[in-house]
Structure 1
Amino acid sequence: MGHQIPRRTLFRTASGLAVAGALGGTLAACAGGTGAGSRSDKLTMTWWGSDDRHAAYKKALAQFREKHPDIGIQETYQGYDGYFDKFNTNIAGGSAPDLLQMDTALVAQYARKGVLASLDSYVGKSLDLTGFSKTLLAAGTVDGKLYGVPSGIGVNQLTVNRSGLEKLGLKYPDPEWTWADLRKTAQDVYKKSGGKTYGVDDGGGSTLQCFEIFAREKGQQFFSGDGKKLGFTADTLQEWWEYWAQMRRTHACPPPAVTSAAHNDLTKNAVVIGKALFTFDSGVYGAGGSITDAQLDFLPTPQGDFSGAREGNFVNGGVLLSATRASKRVAESVQIMDFFAQDPTAIKDMRLLRGIPPTQKARSLISAGLNDTDKRNMATADYISRRVSKATDALPAPVPPPQGADQIWDLLFQSNLAVAFGKKSIKAQLGEFFDQAAGILAK
């Protein structure tokens, strides 16, 4: 399958997921059907993903139909590219699906437009969310109402070429490492490799896996609670860009040409092409497997090493299952949501294909069938989620991103690149970034 993934997809859940790669590459649309209006005798369900995810959904839904022969299901599925364009077209034409896989980065926009059905009246009745944490459910909650059931735990972490690190004789970092530790380790990689390999890809323009965590460590969210403005200060972004400018000067991260080439193309990621040993781009390893032959491992995003630093990581909901408000089959859609949330056969069929399973019950059910890399991935996610749940100073999980968030995420990436190429000074780019971001959010 292809591995070119839109940058916003990698940033989503929204977001900086440990399983961002599970969201699938650029695949051709599969199956037939046009939505709720085409087959009145069947519930219509749609999702995006890889071929492996398609097969798992189909297998699980076949099991559901055996248990509920009175509920027919018409399935449509495709890659991420064009998925929401098609959804919007279906909404406009009155043929929206009854049940759909929803992006945590977009749930707020669709909920506030009245497209999605509230699920609260079903919770504790036909929708069993036992084992789902409040923090996790926040990923599908908009303005106090639940509009989507999270499929898994998404956390922010680095993917590591562990075999490459061991060949250089370098110690594997402690999971409680800091930004200073990352800088030291990355510099050591460059020195030990004789200048052949950089430590980590340039994170100056990475949002969720990188900068958002740094801002949260300073007690600042990426977006304000109402989504109408940025939640972090210019001083915080300046400090961030200065950190990465030093990383480039000391060869701890690659030059901007490598960073630019990898934009929207995982096959050119610094770890994949052997130019670095650490990456913030978790799409390098996901439900479709690895796109590098290196032995991979995973580490939490570094912690703040300044006075008053808070826990910056957070847990989000992988992808969501949502029902459309106009559907006449919301109750039946909820039964399917409940099936994927709690049924052992569905949990085993989906494995890690929609993220690290959201409950301890689900994680225990699939653990025996995982390969070593999957086990390391899940163990790191477990470690981070436990740490976040114990933290007394952590900010609430971010609100669902507002309209225009994708433009701002890309603006951050391009702004860092402008500084890296020497086209703009950090201070000049700061002013431009905040001016443009304010204009985007004001629309």
Structure 2
Amino acid sequence: MFTTRARQRMLAAAAFSGAAALALTGCAGGPEPASAYDPDAEVTLTFTWWGNDDRAQRYQQLIDAFEEEHPNITIEGNFTDFPSYWEKRQTEAAGGGLPDVWQFSDSYLREYAEPGLLLDLDTVADYIDFDAFEESLQQTGQLDGVQYSLPTGYSAWAVFLNDALIEQAGVEPYEGGTSAEEYADWMKSVTDATGGTVYGGTDMTQRIQTFENVLRAQGENLYTEDGELGFTEDDLRDFWNSGAAARDGVTVPQQRLEEIFPKSGFGANLTASEASWSNFLGGYLADSGAESVTLVAPPTEEPGSKDLYRQAGLQMAISANTEHPEASALWLDFVVNSEEAGEIFGTTLGFPASETKLAGTTLEGVDAQVAEYLDSVADRIGEAPPVPVVGYGSLEQTFWDLGKSIGLGALSVDDAVQQFMTEAGVILG
């Protein structure tokens, strides 16, 4: 089988000689069909992502490598934080001005694919190596059998530990995989030992992923295959109430987190632990300046359950209205498949989902840690949840915002539950 790079050179030569031309199929809001693709034409592509400065520096390295290989294609990149990112995409979608290529999330797959805002990648299949993906990972970017995006990698939910802060506190590291109550007790031991100069962690009930793990341990999901919520008001109320004791002086106060935003408590060295996706390790090290960070399994209420899953939510997509679908496909392929991407990003965009990207990744240091962590929780990995419902990204953000309001004391749990369920009812119809 040809390598991705060899296929691209071969296809470009064929297109240039006129031996092959890519006919684009029509799609809602998409460009007019092109008679031929000129691989030497000067092209400028817009590209955007969410993330921190560490991710931005890595993307710039990748852009430089791509532009050296494709000197006629210029990549104009920019980034922002996660909430602002999706607010801007919604504005662009309404005005028909989405970027050519953009970092995507499977949380928004239905929302952007169903109205025809994403390019069917099969229309530019000659420029993308789909064979480099395991089928189950490739399917994470599919809706109704159409390939709209491809994953950069996959992750699993984890608890991060700042080794130096824990040692300074004089407590034993959290071992991982305990009950939520035992994890809360450990966080309290850190906060008590430091007198609150460093907190044990952040309120885990703010994150919908923690709630998702609780539901999955019971054999449920956040939403059903039919696009309905998979939990009740009582389930949500019990979950948010379960964090009350930890919010009372154990976890970092929400007001402190508001003051350091967009850094997290862990990144700012205010907390000794934090839960997030395993691919955040590189970013956490960069933000905190810590010499070492350990990953351990998150709490579970049902030992032996398959509450975790391979999350391939961080993806790459092309806008349906791009004027340069072939060039966009070349850049998308470079991000998800190239050995250069593996070398530059390692596991910071998830453990490489593509075998060709993985071939460029040297699994040592941080990347070896992530690989070892994924191996360590393999017995807890279950099937991926259903394709997120339309509006899931908004619901995820609402969940987080309400959790923060609870932490600030600005909202009661009962009121937060009512607001969430009301918004969910509107979004899900």
Class of the TM-score when normalised by the shorter of the 2 chains? 0.7 to 0.9
Q: What is the correspondence of 1:332-371 to structure 2 with a 5 Å cutoff?
A: 332-359=327-354, 362-363=357-358, 365-367=360-362
Question: Which structure 1 segments of 5+ residues have no match?
Answer: 1-35
Q: Which residue of 1 aligns with 2:108?
A: 106
The residue type paired with residue 372 of structure 2 is A
Give, in angstroms, the shift of residue 114 of structure 1: 0.2
1:241 alignment counterpart: 240
Matched, 1:161 2:162: yes
1:314 paired residue number: 309
AA matched with 2:103 = Q
Deviation at 1:410, TM superposition (A): 2.5
Partner of 2:387: 399
Task: Tell me the secondary structure at the aligned position of residue 200 of structure 1.
Answer: coil
Deviation digits for residues 136-194 of structure 1, max 9, x if unmatched? 33432223322111112232222212222223443333344332431332233244445
Q: 291, 294, 298: which one pairs with 1:297?
A: 294
**In the alignment, which residue of structure 2 is the partner of 1:225?**
225
Letter in 2 for 1:379: E
- What is the deviation of 1:112? 0.9
1:178 and 1:101 map into 2 onto residues whose CA distance is 35
Say which is worse superposed, 189-198 or 101-110, in terms of deviation.
189-198
Alignment of 1:35-434 (within 5 A): 41-42=42-43, 44-48=45-49, 49-50=51-52, 53-64=55-66, 72-80=72-80, 83=85, 96-120=98-122, 126-130=127-131, 132-193=133-194, 197-208=198-209, 210-227=210-227, 229-248=228-247, 251-254=249-252, 258-263=253-258, 265-266=260-261, 269-272=264-267, 274-280=269-275, 286-287=282-283, 289-294=285-290, 295-305=292-302, 310-327=305-322, 329-359=324-354, 362-363=357-358, 365-367=360-362, 372-373=365-366, 375-384=368-377, 386-388=378-380, 391=381, 394-403=382-391, 405-407=393-395, 409-411=397-399, 413-414=401-402, 417-418=405-406, 421=409, 424=412, 426=413, 428-429=414-415, 432-433=418-419
Change (3 A) 1:224 1:41: same
TM-score, reference length from structure 2: 0.74
RMSD (Å) for aligned C-alpha atoms: 3.9
State the one-letter code of the partner of 1:299: V
1:117 Cα deviation from its structure 2 partner: 1.6
In structure 2, do the counterparts of structure 1 residues 112 and 62 end up closer, same or farther at CA, with 3 Å as the change threshold? same
Q: By percentage of residues, which structure has more helix? A: 2
Match of 1:167, SS state, is helix
In the alignment, what sits opposite 2:28?
none
Q: How far did 1:236 drift?
A: 2.6
Q: Deviations over 1:304-359 (max 9, x none)?
A: 237xx732222222532212223454344333333333332332133345333224
1:32 equivalent in structure 2: none
| CA shift for structure 1 position 111 | 0.7
Say if 1:416 and 1:361 are closer, same or farther in 2 by CA, change over 3 A.
Answer: same
Identify unmatched segments of 5+ residues in structure 2: 1-30, 33-40
* 3-state SS of 1:253 partner: coil
Q: Distance in 2 between matches of 1:342 and 1:273?
A: 33
Larger radius of gyration: 2
CA distance in 1, matches of 2:425, 2:409: 25
In the superposition, the TM-score normalised over structure 1's length comes to 0.72
Contact in 1 for aligned 2:281/2:366 (Cα 8 Å) = no
Q: Please tell me whether the aligned partners of residues 284 and 290 of structure 1 are also in contact (alpha carbons under 8 angstroms).
A: no
Q: Measure the CA separation in 1 of the matches of 2:366 and 2:333.
A: 29
CA contact (8 A) 1:204 1:413 kept: no
